Amino acid sequence: MSTTQSVNESIGKGYAALGRLGQKRIISIGALVAVLAAFSVIVAVQHGFTLFLQRIFDGLSNGFIYAAMAMALVLIYKATTVVNFAQGEMAMFGTFIAYVFGHSLGIPTPLAIILAMLASALGAAGIERVLIRPFDPRNHLAVTIVTLGLFLILNSLAGVIWAYDNRAFPSPFPGRNRSFSVFGANLEWANLFTWLTVLAAVLLVSLLLSRTKIGLAFRSVSNSLESSELLGIHIGRTLQFGWALAAAVGTLAGTMIARTTLLEPNFMGRVLIYSFAAATLGGLDSLGGAVVAGIVIGLVQTMSGGYIGFIGSDLAPTVALVVIVGVLLVRPSGLFGSKRVERV
Amino acid sequence: MALVTLKQGTPAHRAYVVGAWALAAIVLIYVIFAYRWGFAPGSIDKAFRLTQINDVICYAVAILGLNLVIGFSGQLSLGHSAFVGLGAYTTIILVADHHWSYLATVPVSAALCFVIGLVVGLPALRIRGLYLAVVTLSVAYVFPTLVVKYDSLTGGPNGKKPARDTGKMNPPSWMPFSNAGRLASPLWVYCILVVIATALFLLVRNFMKSRPGRALLAVRDNQTSAAVSGINLPLYKALTFGASAAIGGIAGSMLMINRPFASDVQFGLPLAIFLVVGLVAGGAGTISGAIPGALIYVFVPYFMSAWTTDQRGMPPGIKQVTKPLFDWLQGRQGAGSIAGVFFGVGLLIFVFVLPGGFIDGIRRLRSKVVQVIPNPSWLRELHGSANPPSTSHSPSSGGDVTQAAPVVATVRSRVAKPVSVKKAINLRGKTT
């Protein structure tokens, strides 16, 4: 009798605690939103609304690109539970391929980008088959080191083949350098198209994962390797699909970035750091989280650099990274990541 | 089966251990004689080669520190370059601006890096695995930007170096090489660095054999069960980060003793990645692995880029095979970066052929020749020191039933103090 009672009591306490946990999250998110809103109102009043909107646009332009790269990282993380350090260099290589298609073979830029995406998907599938599959998927250190090796190889190989000159990458969108005005703030057509392209890519990838058979297999493998093996899913081929998809998305992101920066073998380094940050912030295994976090990081970087004089453009990356550390301290598996429960 | 079997604690085994240490000491001292009296191999400038050897010692210490976090406590930290850089800048600023002597700055940078390491390690208490890797990676990324931002202190992108003669390392007159001209200074630096590095290697080695060292290994192998066994996870993790950072800081100071010049590009992301690469190539979780790791880090890229400009000093067999490749590279603008390609390919080969690193390979080779049967001192005490167990009763052959129980009890009591169930549950609640 008394044991049943005490068990019931403790179960009740547990549920109560769970309920409080949910409330706490709502409170903390609410607080965050309130702080952001207050910040926006203050800076909009102080420095003018147009400037504020302009910075929002700039932040979004960066953010969508981070989001696209972060999505590629998350895809590989879901496939192999490893962060692919070579992701940026794979994207860089793909962008160079698009450049060669467009520049040397004279293929129109949008078509060249699509061809390069296909080529890098094929390349990534090959890399997965030769370099990743021989390892036990549970041996994380080995796979991480392989991606570091790939990073070195691709970066240097691009240097050998294309040298370290800056090249201008042609914009794939119509209306070069033309912009329109929204409440006085300038928005380039090309930037708008970039946002739309990234959004379309996100939509396509999530449709691919939710509506196709291979997408189902991919989700199953990323959920539980053992169960998928038992179900008869070909693990290797499914992971290969993940790598190919990630490489294609990465190449798309690379071409979007190369339009604004210049193309050279190291051009992805900076972007990759933010994309890592975005993928981590969103929770490494959440596609939607990666997109949201990418945009958040783009905004934080632009806003803090623009409005806080002490930070300026030098320390803006630092602030973005400090924000991630802060968020991870409160939520160790990111904003949208799934929590791991361990058994001894 | 091994050619020779040695039992731990027997005179033969002792002679083997002493011999190995003596060999290491002879190699270290040989370098001095070789460079002082000129029978060092290679046609290159001797002072330059000696500086490279000194670099190897510094990076070996840096990798040793990194190993403490990655290899022994199992947390993927990619921010080690920041600590090495912090130590280096501490030394160079104190020497250049405040006229300290180099050696006096070493404890300062160790202490400073220890504190900063503790602070950076704080996220590690809650963040794990790849999330931690990304956080520490961002530390590595941020450090050079801070150096550039505070350029009045650090010299920014132009780098910082002390005035020509400030605190220059010259050997005292009683050293046999004090009149060796240009070689005198690097040789003396070599001696100092070897002493510091040996002390640190012995320190870490003995630490890993101590009780906290075993606790670290328990944390690495299974965090939750380590917590249940009564290991204070937050304390150990934070202290590991601090100690690792302190060793990294010392490595940075040592680098500045060797080449007194610091700039932001030296301590950026590439260093962070290459340190991990060196660690893995040498052997994660082994203390001696830091040395081959540092050798690879210093010499492989150097020879690769040297060979792309001219094939001097290349082993003759390789010369014929690689001739078309280097001919193709001749005259290409980015030819120098072929070193990176080889480095990456070498890394891949390492992961495929020797996943445990260089040291693991050596150990496997050695086990074909010499096999040591473990017979640690506590086991000998258990059997009575006057009466060492005969081979039929050795633990490797199972032992008999009456002996088994006390052995297990002793092993348990050496791993950790038992804790109450309640405390264990509390600990677990905190960690998951």
CATH class of residue range B48-356: mainly alpha
Q: Give the confidence band of A24 by pLDDT, cuts at 50, 70, 90.
A: low
Find tokens 């640690």 and name the residue.
B376
pLDDT of residue B417 exceeding 60, the answer is no
Distance CA B121, CA B243 (A): 10
Residue A223 is encoded by which pair of tokens?
């959920």
Please provide residue A188's backbone torsions phi and psi, each rounded to the nearest 5 degrees: -70, 140
Is B269 within 8 Å of A269 when comparing Cβ atoms?
Answer: yes
In the 3-class helix/strand/coil scheme, how is A158-190 assigned residue by residue?
Answer: HHHHHCCCCECCCCCCCCCCCEEEECCEEEEHH
Mean pLDDT, to the nearest integer, of B74-93?
90
Residue B314 is encoded by which pair of tokens?
């290349």
**Amino acid making up residue B393:** H
The secondary element (H helix, E strand) that includes residue A154 is helix A140-162
SS3 B287: coil
Question: Does residue B332 sit at the A interface (CB-CB below 8 Å)?
Answer: yes
In the 3-class helix/strand/coil scheme, how is A49-71 assigned residue by residue?
Answer: HHHHHHHHHHHHHHHHHHHHHHH
Distance CA A304, CA A315 (A): 9
Please provide residue A317's backbone torsions phi and psi, each rounded to the nearest 5 degrees: -60, -40
CB A80 within 8 A of CB A285: no
Question: Does residue A131 sit at the B interface (CB-CB below 8 Å)?
Answer: yes
Residues from chain A contacting residue B277 (CB–CB below 8 Å): 145, 148-149
The secondary element (H helix, E strand) that includes residue A194 is helix A189-211
State the pTM of this model: 0.80
Question: Does residue B327 sit at the A interface (CB-CB below 8 Å)?
Answer: no
Mean pLDDT, to the nearest integer, of B245-259?
93
Question: pLDDT by residue (tens digit) across A54-110?
Answer: 888 888 888 898 998 999 888 888 877 788 888 889 999 999 999 998 888 888 888
Residues from chain B contacting residue A332 (CB–CB below 8 Å): 126-128, 131
Distance CA B109, CA B105 (A): 6
Residue A276 is encoded by which pair of tokens?
């890592």
Distance CA A283, CA A291 (A): 11
Question: pLDDT by residue (tens digit) across A280-322?
Answer: 888 878 888 888 888 888 888 888 877 776 666 667 777 777 7
* Burial of B283 per CB tally in 10 Å (0-12, 13-18, 19+): buried
Q: Give the confidence band of A264 by pLDDT, cuts at 50, 70, 90.
A: confident
SS3 B410: helix
Most confident of A281-290, B193-202, B411-420, B423-432: B193-202
Residue A270: what pLDDT? 78
Question: pLDDT by residue (tens digit) across B139-178?
Answer: 888 888 888 888 888 887 888 887 766 656 777 777 777 6
Residue B141 is encoded by which pair of tokens?
């990324």
Residue A66 is encoded by which pair of tokens?
């981070």
pLDDT of residue B419 exceeding 50, the answer is no
Q: Give the confidence band of B243 by pLDDT, cuts at 50, 70, 90.
A: very high
pLDDT of residue A17 exceeding 70, the answer is no
Distance CA A113, CA A134 (A): 31
Q: Give the confidence band of A25 by pLDDT, cuts at 50, 70, 90.
A: low
pLDDT of residue B402 exceeding 60, the answer is no
Residues from chain B contacting residue A77 (CB–CB below 8 Å): 130
Residues from chain B contacting residue A269 (CB–CB below 8 Å): 269
Question: Does residue A48 sit at the B interface (CB-CB below 8 Å)?
Answer: no
**A43 CB contacts (<8 Å, ≥6 apart)?**
A52, A303, A307
Alpha helices in B285-376 (DSSP H): 290-309, 316-329, 338-353, 357-369
ipTM of the complex in this document: 0.76
Q: Which member of B276, B341, B348 has the closest CB to residue A157?
A: B341
Question: Does residue B152 sit at the A interface (CB-CB below 8 Å)?
Answer: no
Question: Does residue A144 sit at the B interface (CB-CB below 8 Å)?
Answer: yes
Distance CA B42, CA B312 (A): 11
Query: Nearest chain A Cα to B329, which residue?
Result: A160
Residue B21 is encoded by which pair of tokens?
């240490």
Distance CA A161, CA A166 (A): 14
Residue range(s) occupied by CATH 1.10.3470 in chain B: 48-356
Residue of A33, A28, A26 lying closest to A296 (CA atoms): A33
Find tokens 């074909």 and name the residue.
B368
DSSP code of residue B262: B
